[in-house]
Structure 1
Amino acid sequence: MRGLKVLPSGRPGRGRLYVNGPDGRVVAWYDRQTNRISVLSEDQREPVLALLRPYLSGECTIGPPPVPTPAELRRLHLAPDRDLAPNRPGETLLGELAYGTPGGSRTRHRMRRQLLAFQRVGAELDVLEAEDWRVVHDVPLPGGLGLLDHLLIGPPGVFALRTVPGRRQRAQVGDLLLTVGRAAAGPDPRWIRRAAACASRALESPVTPALTLVDAARLEVAPTLRDVLVLQPPTLTPTLRAIPQTLKPPDVETLFTTARMATTWGRL
Structure 2
Amino acid sequence: MSGLRVVPAYRHGRERLYVCREDGGNVAWYDRETGRVNLLAEDGRDDVLRALKPFLTGPVTVGPPPVPTPAELARLALHPDDDLAPNRPGEALLVALDRDPGPAHRLRPDPRRRALLAEETAGLALDGLEGAGWHTLHSVALPGGDRIHHLAIGPGGLFAVHALYARRCRVLVADPMVTLGRREAEPLLRRLRAAADRASYALTAEVRPLLVLVGPAEVSVTAGPRGVRVLRDDELAGLARLGGVLKPADVEALHGMARDRNTWLRV
Q: Which amino acid aligns with 2:136?
A: V
Any idea what the Cα deviations from partners look like across 1:36-56, whole Å, max 9, x if unmatched? 79899xxxxxxxxxxxxxxxx
Contact 2:175–2:223 at 8 Å: present in 1 too? no
- The one-letter code matched in structure 2 to 1:136 is L
8 Å Cα contact 1:162/1:212 also seen in 2 = yes
Which residue pairs with 1:71 in the alignment? 71
Alignment correspondent of 2:247? 248
Shift of 1:98: 2.2
**Which is greater in Rg?**
2
**In structure 2, C-alpha distance between the alignment counterparts of 1:64 and 1:126, rounded to whole Å:** 31
Structure 2 SS opposite 1:167: coil
Structure 1 residues 244 and 177: CA distance shift in structure 2, 3 A: same
Q: Is the 8 A contact 2:122 2:233 kept in 1?
A: yes
**Number of positions where the alignment pairs a residue of Structure 1 with one of Structure 2:** 229
Matched with 2:209 is 209
* Structure-2 separation of matches of 1:107 and 1:128: 35
* Counterpart amino acid of residue 262 in structure 2: T
What do the CA deviations read for 1:119-159 (whole angstroms, capped 9, x no partner)?
A: 111121122112210000000112x2511100000101000
SS at match of 1:234: helix
Superposed CA deviations along residues 32-83 of structure 1, whole A, max 9, x for unmatched, are 853679899xxxxxxxxxxxxxxxx987999974211111111110011110
Residue of structure 2 equivalent to 1:148 = 148
C-alpha contact 2:153 2:255 (8 A) present in aligned 1: yes
3-state DSSP class of the match of 2:110? helix
Q: Which residue of 2 aligns with 1:96?
A: 96
The question of whether the paired residues in 1 share the 8 Å contact of 2:36 and 2:61 is answered with yes
Whichever residue aligns with residue 169 of structure 2, its letter is: Q
Equivalent position amino acid for 2:127 in 1? D
Contact 1:35 1:61 in 2 (8 A): yes
Residue pair 1:174, 1:189 contacting (<8 A) in 2 also: no
Q: Do the aligned partners of 1:211 and 1:230 also contact (CA within 8 Å) in 2?
A: yes
CA distance in 2, matches of 1:183, 1:82: 38
The structural deviation recorded for 1:31 is: 7.3
Secondary structure of the residue aligned to 1:115 is helix
Structure 1 moving runs of 4+ over 4 Å: 29-33, 35-40, 57-65, 101-104
Any idea what SS the aligned residue of 1:235 has?
helix
Q: Taking structure 1 as the reference length, what is the TM-score of the superposition?
A: 0.75
1:54 matched residue in structure 2 = none
> In the alignment, which residue of structure 1 is the partner of 2:164?
164
CA contact (8 A) 1:169 1:216 kept: yes
Alpha-carbon shift at residue 92 of structure 1 (Å): 1.2
Q: Deviations over 1:189-224 (max 9, x none)?
A: 011100000000001000111100000000111224
Contiguous gaps of at least 5 residues in structure 1: 1-5, 17-28, 41-56
Give structure 2 stretches of 5+ with no counterpart: 1-9, 17-28, 41-54
SS of 1:212's equivalent?
Answer: strand
Name the structure 1 match of 2:256.
Answer: 257
Aligned partners of 2:132 and 2:240 also within 8 Å: no
Check conservation: 1:37, 1:62, Cα contact below 8 A: yes
Measured in 1, the distance between the counterparts of 2:177 and 2:246 equals 31
Separation of aligned partners in 1, 2:56 and 2:161:
36
Whether the aligned pair in 1 keeps the contact of 2:148 and 2:161 (CA below 8 Å) is: yes
Provide the C-alpha distance between the structure 1 equivalents of 2:167 and 2:222, rounded to a whole number of angstroms: 20
Opposite residue 76 of structure 2, the aligned amino acid is L
What secondary structure is seen at the aligned counterpart in 2 of 1:87?
coil
Is this contact kept in 2: 1:97–1:108, CA < 8 A?
Answer: no
Asked whether the equivalents of residues 177 and 186 of structure 2 are also in contact (C-alpha less than 8 Å), the reply is yes
Cα separation, partners in 2 of 1:247 and 1:102, compared to 1, 3 Å: same
Verify the 8 A CA contact 2:137 2:151 in the aligned structure 1: yes
Q: Distance in 1 between matches of 2:261 and 2:210?
A: 22
| CA separation of 1:32 and 1:111: change in aligned 2, threshold 3 A | farther
Q: Answer whether contact 2:85 2:137 (CA < 8 A) is retained.
A: yes
* Same amino acid, percent of matched pairs: 46
